[in-house]
Amino acid sequence: MKKFKQIAQFGQKLMTLSDMDHALDLISEEAKTLLDADRCSIFIVDLEDKILWTKLSDGVGRIVVSLSTGIVGHTYQSQRPQIVNTPYSDDRFLQAIDKKSGYETKNIITVPIFDSKRDVIGIIELLNKVKSDFDESDLSALTFFANYVSGSLELILMNEN
Amino acid sequence: MKYENTYSKLADFGRELLNKKSLVEGLPLISKYAKDVVGAQRCSIFIYDLQHKELWTTIADGVEKIIVPSEEGLVGHTLKIRKPIIENNPYANSHFLKSIDKETGYKTQNIATSPIFNSQREIIGVLELLNKESEFNNEDVKFMIFFAHYISGFLELTNLYLLEDMKEKKNEKI
């Protein structure tokens, strides 16, 4: 019950933000708390330039990848969530980003964010769950959460363009 | 470009909605907003109870649940085809339930519906608007699809609240 109340409070706060940067920050923070993960990136789909981008966050800097690169690219292409608990043995995983940032990725979960037309407009990615690996219950919580924020995100993207 | 302003102001509505903690409080607000924006006379939100496979709604500000058949009418048909419907000539549509107009004395001139999906892509409700002064058009339905998606998070969360609440009460009894 506590968790639901927390999400409702987060929702109220999210509604007060109309600019993208602050909204993405808030969504990231909430997603991390919800799943007890160390880092969160929200990738936004840019169809014009055919890229996925994040804003500056969490010491990682801005990440830009093609629509088919890495675990997030795969999430975009397949439109399906991904759980990867042993990234270094997964061919899709981009080791270069860890190398550059000096951060060691231990496990990953991603879920697509759909808009009302059922197009993927973004991807939530969480890294390094603190206590254990990511599992099915994390997946259902994050799927719910992605849908919960998708309306606001769609609206913000629409008003920015 | 009727809806341009609407989208830039929709967050105000969202804020108000998220202050409501239950479906019963939230539904009248959603109805009123959808009605005003599209310019329709009436709006109903039908909630699809996945557990009992029942479709229910409330009358205006009433608290009482009214259960409606989930396989009949244009709302039932929306549930079945999982797509929005525009019907500007309902009396010529075989899915339309004329009996309800007869019972209520209200004459339906046109109808637009949109399904409401949860995060698992299950239908959790149907948004229905009746009697727009002119006719419903694609732009109206585009807004309804957007709006249905926008409120779906609120509906899903309050549903989860409800289930959790029921579970807790059950445990207390044991």
Helix, strand, or coil (residue B11): helix
Size of interface A-B (CB pairs under 8 A): 71
User: Could you give the ipTM of this predicted complex?
Assistant: 0.86
Residues B10, B29: Cα–Cα separation, whole Å: 13
pLDDT recorded at residue B5: 82
Contact residues on chain A for B157, CB-CB shorter than 8 A: 4, 7-8, 11, 148
Residues B66, A19: Cα–Cα separation, whole Å: 41
Contact residues on chain B for A27, CB-CB shorter than 8 A: none
Dihedrals phi, psi of A43, to nearest 5 degrees? -95, 130
List strands edge to edge, sheet with A82-84: A64-66, A51-53, A37-46, A120-129, A108-114, A82-84
Question: Which residues of chain B carry a pLDDT beneath 70?
Answer: 1, 59-64, 174
pLDDT recorded at residue A56: 67
Helices A136-160 + A2-15 axis angle, to 10: 10
Q: Does A25 touch chain B (CB under 8 A)?
A: no
B54-58/A108-114 β-pairing: unpaired
Q: Does A68 touch chain B (CB under 8 A)?
A: no
Nearest neighbour of A147 by CB, restricted to B11, B15, B152:
B152
Catalogue all structural domains in chain B, each as residue range(s) with its CATH number.
15-173 (3.30.450.40)
Inter-chain touch B119–A117, beta carbons under 8 Å: no
pLDDT recorded at residue B41: 94
Residues B119, B28: Cα–Cα separation, whole Å: 23
pLDDT recorded at residue A59: 62
Residues A11, B155: Cα–Cα separation, whole Å: 12
pTM: 0.89
What long-range pairs does A104-108 form, CB within 8 A, spacing at least 24? Answer: A107/A83, A107/A133, A107/A134, A108/A71, A108/A82, A108/A83, A108/A84, A108/A134
Please state the domain extents for chain A: 2-160
Question: Which pLDDT tens digit goes with each residue over A41-92?
Answer: 999 999 999 999 998 666 667 889 999 999 999 999 999 999 999 999 999 9
Q: Which fold has domain A2-160?
A: Beta-Lactamase (3.30.450)
Q: Check residues A124 and B57 and name the one with the higher pLDDT.
A: A124
Contact residues on chain A for B153, CB-CB shorter than 8 A: 11, 147-151
Yes or no: say if A142 and A109 are a contact pair by the CB < 8 Å rule. yes
Inter-chain touch B153–A11, beta carbons under 8 Å: yes
- Return the structure tokens found at B149: 């998606």
Q: Does A31 touch chain B (CB under 8 A)?
A: no
pLDDT recorded at residue B83: 97
pLDDT recorded at residue A133: 96
Give how far A123 is from chain B: nearest CA, Å: 14
